[in-house]
Amino acid sequence: MEVYEKIKRLFGWGKPAAPAARAEAPEGGAEPAPASGPERRGKPRTNARPGTRMLVIDDSATIVALLSRMLRQNDYTVLEASDAEEGLEIARTQSPELVFLDIVLPGMDGFAALRQLRKDPYTRDIPVIMISGNEQATEQFYVHRIGADDFMKKPFSRAEVFARIERLLDANRVPKRLPGAVRSSAGVGDDPETA
Nearest to 102 by CA among 63, 147, 141, 76: 63
Sheet holding 150-153, edge to edge: 77-81, 53-57, 98-102, 128-132, 150-153
> Which tens digit of pLDDT belongs to each residue from 135-194?
766 655 555 567 789 989 888 999 999 999 988 986 544 444 433 333 433 333 333 333
pTM of the model: 0.66
Q: How far apart are CA 2 and CA 109, in angstroms?
A: 25
Q: In this structure, which amino acid lies at residue 123?
A: T
Residue 84 above 50 pLDDT? Answer: yes
Residue 80 above 60 pLDDT? Answer: yes
**Fold held by 1-9+49-169:** Rossmann fold (3.40.50)
Give residue limits of the domains in the chain: 1-9+49-169
Q: Of how many residues is the chain composed?
A: 195
**Residue 99 phi, psi (nearest 5):** -125, 130
**What pLDDT score does 50 carry?**
79
Nearest to 116 by CA among 184, 61, 166: 184
Confidence of residue 57 (pLDDT cuts 50, 70, 90): very high
Counting beta carbons within 10 angstroms of the beta carbon of residue 175, is it exposed (0 to 12), middle (13 to 18) or buried (19 or more)? middle
Whether 14 and 8 have beta carbons less than 8 Å apart is answered as: yes
Q: In this structure, which amino acid lies at residue 21?
A: A
Residue 133 above 50 pLDDT? Answer: yes
Greater model confidence, 191 or 63: 63
Greater model confidence, 138 or 66: 66
Confidence of residue 82 (pLDDT cuts 50, 70, 90): very high
> Which tens digit of pLDDT belongs to each residue from 86-106?
999 999 999 999 999 999 999
**What pLDDT score does 185 carry?**
39
Whether 48 and 165 have beta carbons less than 8 Å apart is answered as: yes
Read out DSSP for 109-158? Answer: -HHHHHHHHHHSTTTTTS-EEEEE--TT--HHIIIIIS--SEEEESS--H
Give me the mean pLDDT over the 47-73 stretch.
92
**What pLDDT score does 34 carry?**
36
**Range of lowest pLDDT (13-22, 70-79, 121-130, 159-168):** 13-22
Give me the mean pLDDT over the 68-74 stretch.
94
Reading phi first (left if > 0) and then psi (alpha if -120 to 50, else beta), residue 187 is in left
